[in-house]
């Protein structure tokens, strides 16, 4: 879902005299595309039937929605740009949210942004913010240190992931993620249906798809780090009783998990072997799932613990370990809480008891 702010007005009021003569009215719309955290400013000028190519998109990263409302809507004049209409080039002025050139604005965004963590996968990712999920645990652990963004798509396999990969992770994005945690494989591992329908992806194709995902993510930036989660085990009996899905087996999960682990070694990216890790707990079948597949709060604690451990052990520069990242706006202030002895207390580093044990 995005947010659109539209302006309908005269070009002459925006200081565009040449265009105002031929196209006195134009609608300026601003879309905030959350999937890529990108602003798309679309200028539709003239009649589409007469000028079918009269639209230009400018992709610029944003600080916040309030920044857009303040600087783009209220101050519509700024940096110079150009568009093409009917083989003619018209100059016009485009807003600059900080009163500087777009290039300077982008640079300031890159320099000031918190690290961006993206969770990309199927239902185990989509549901990771609910039921005390592992995604929520990561977001809590990195509060005021990194932005944790959910890109989970229940029921998807690695084929569908490839279809949207460049949309979720555009190579020309102004700000690229510092970390991407990827999970696909459970749906791929489901046995093929006689009709040819269903999410099954043959093992060689699954490995190739995951390799393509890894290569694309590695190419986003020199500082983008990747963690793959391998296919976890399943409680087949609980799965049949709750969801009624057939063809999803623990043995199939093992095969796809091992293939994922092997691939990660080949392409030199971190991997959390969930199939092995979860089964190290003696009561995993009765405590780690809500329905035989998706994680309970106990299962999520285990997953989060393994992810955080992998991040702590990684030799990444800069480190993405939570203890290594600065707290946003963590400076002491006269507005901090006051202790009994009259001293201020900065609670920015206050530890919570909700971290996984």
Q: What is the mean pLDDT of residues 248-265?
A: 97
Say how far apart CA 225 and CA 271 lie, in whole Å: 11
**Tokens (6 digits) for 301:** 């604690």
| pLDDT exceeds 50 at position 259 | yes
- Radius of gyration in angstroms for the set of CA atoms belonging to the chain, rounded to a whole number: 25
Binning pLDDT at 50, 70 and 90, where does residue 352 land? low
Say how far apart CA 121 and CA 182 lie, in whole Å: 6
Catalytic-labelled residue, pool 31, 59, 208, 291: 291
Binning pLDDT at 50, 70 and 90, where does residue 350 land? confident
**Tokens (6 digits) for 30:** 């601003």
Catalytic-labelled residue, pool 147, 189, 200, 294: 294
> How much of the chain exceeds pLDDT 90, in percent?
57
Q: What is the mean pLDDT of residues 125-148?
A: 95
Eight-state DSSP code of residue 289:
B
Strands 116-121 and 147-152: parallel
Query: pLDDT for 149-187, tens place per residue?
Result: 999 999 999 999 999 999 999 988 878 999 999 999 999
Bridge partners of residue 228, in order along the sequence: 182, 271
- The single residue listed with the structure tokens 């509060």 is 143
| pLDDT exceeds 50 at position 145 | yes
Catalytic-labelled residue, pool 36, 96, 122, 178: 122
| Per-domain boundaries in the chain | 2-108, 115-324
**Tokens (6 digits) for 185:** 């494989």
Least confident range of 9-18, 127-136, 292-301: 9-18
Q: DSSP H helical segments within the chain, as ranges?
A: 17-22, 65-67, 102-112, 123-126, 134-141, 158-168, 203-218, 236-242, 250-267, 274-279, 284-287, 297-313
pLDDT at 344: 87
pLDDT at 173: 82
Query: pLDDT for 58-77, tens place per residue?
Result: 333 332 222 232 222 222 33
| pLDDT exceeds 90 at position 28 | no
Q: Choose between 224 and 5: higher pLDDT.
A: 224
Which of 192, 183, 186 shows the shortest CA–CA distance to 254?
A: 186
Residue 179's Cβ-count burial label (10 Å; 0-12, 13-18, 19+) is buried
CB 290 within 8 A of CB 133: no
Contacts of 308-315 with C-beta under 8 Å, sequence gap 24+, read 308/138, 308/141, 308/356, 310/227, 310/270, 310/272, 311/179, 311/227, 314/225, 314/270
pLDDT at 107: 53
CB 145 within 8 A of CB 322: yes
HEC string for 202-262:
CHHHHHHHHHHHHHHHHCCCCCCEEEEECCCCCCHHHHHHHCCCCCCCHHHHHHHHHHHHH
Does the active-site annotation cover 294? yes
* Angle at alpha carbon of residue 348, lines to 344 and 350, rounded to 5°: 95
Binning pLDDT at 50, 70 and 90, where does residue 281 land? very high
pLDDT at 260: 98
CB 264 within 8 A of CB 226: no
pTM of the model: 0.70
Query: pLDDT for 34-67, tens place per residue?
Result: 333 333 333 333 333 333 333 333 333 332 222 2
pLDDT at 186: 97
Q: What is the mean pLDDT of residues 240-259?
A: 93
- The single residue listed with the structure tokens 């009765």 is 286
Does the active-site annotation cover 178? no
* Angle at alpha carbon of residue 37, lines to 42 and 100, rounded to 5°: 65
**Burial letters 236-263, b for 16+ CB under 10 A, else e:** bebbeeeeeeeebbbebbbbbbbbbbeb
Contacts of 317-323 with C-beta under 8 Å, sequence gap 24+, read 318/223, 320/115, 320/146, 320/178, 320/179, 320/225, 322/141, 322/142, 322/145
CATH topology of domain 115-324: Rossmann fold (3.40.50)
Does the active-site annotation cover 44? no
What Å distances lie between residue 318 and 30, 54, 65, 224, 313, CA to CA?
34, 44, 29, 10, 13
């Amino acid at each position: 879902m995005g947010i659109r702010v539209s302006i309908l007005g005269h070009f002459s009021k925006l200081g565009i005299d040449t265009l105002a003569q031929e196209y006195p009215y134009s609608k300026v719309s601003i879309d905030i595309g959350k999937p890529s955290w990108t602003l798309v400013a679309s200028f539709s000028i003239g009649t589409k039937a007469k000028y079918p190519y009269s639209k230009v998109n400018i992709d610029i990263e944003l600080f916040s929605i309030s920044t857009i409302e303040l600087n783009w809507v209220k101050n519509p004049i700024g940096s110079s740009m150009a568009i093409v209409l009917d083989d003619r080039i018209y100059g016009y002025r485009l807003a600059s949210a900080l009163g500087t050139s777009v290039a300077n604005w982008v640079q300031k965004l890159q320099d000031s942004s918190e690290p961006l963590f993206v969770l990309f996968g199927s239902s185990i990712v989509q549901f990771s913010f609910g039921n005390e999920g592992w995604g929520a645990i990561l977001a809590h652990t990195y509060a005021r240190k990194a932005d944790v963004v959910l890109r989970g798509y229940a029921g998807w396999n690695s084929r569908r992931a490839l279809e949207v990969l460049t949309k979720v992770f555009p190579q020309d994005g102004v700000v690229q993620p510092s970390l991407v945690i990827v999970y696909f494989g459970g749906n791929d591992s489901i046995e093929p249906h006689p009709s040819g329908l269903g999410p099954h992806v043959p093992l060689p194709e699954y490995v190739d798809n995951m390799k393509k995902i890894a290569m694309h993510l590695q190419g986003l930036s020199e500082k983008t780090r990747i963690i793959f989660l391998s296919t976890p085990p399943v409680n087949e009996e609980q799965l049949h009783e709750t969801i009624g899905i057939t063809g999803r087996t623990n043995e199939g999960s093992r095969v796809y998990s091992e293939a994922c682990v092997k691939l990660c070694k080949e392409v030199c990216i971190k991997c959390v072997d969930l199939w092995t890790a979860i089964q190290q707990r003696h009561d995993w079948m009765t405590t780690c799932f809500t329905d035989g597949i998706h994680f309970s709060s106990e299962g999520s604690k285990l997953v989060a613990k393994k992810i955080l451990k992998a991040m702590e052990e990684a030799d990444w520069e800069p480190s993405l370990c939570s203890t290594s990242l600065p707290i946003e706006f963590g400076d002491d202030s006269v507005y901090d809480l006051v202790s009994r002895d009259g001293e201020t207390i900065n609670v920015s580093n206050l530890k919570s008891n909700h971290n996984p044990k």
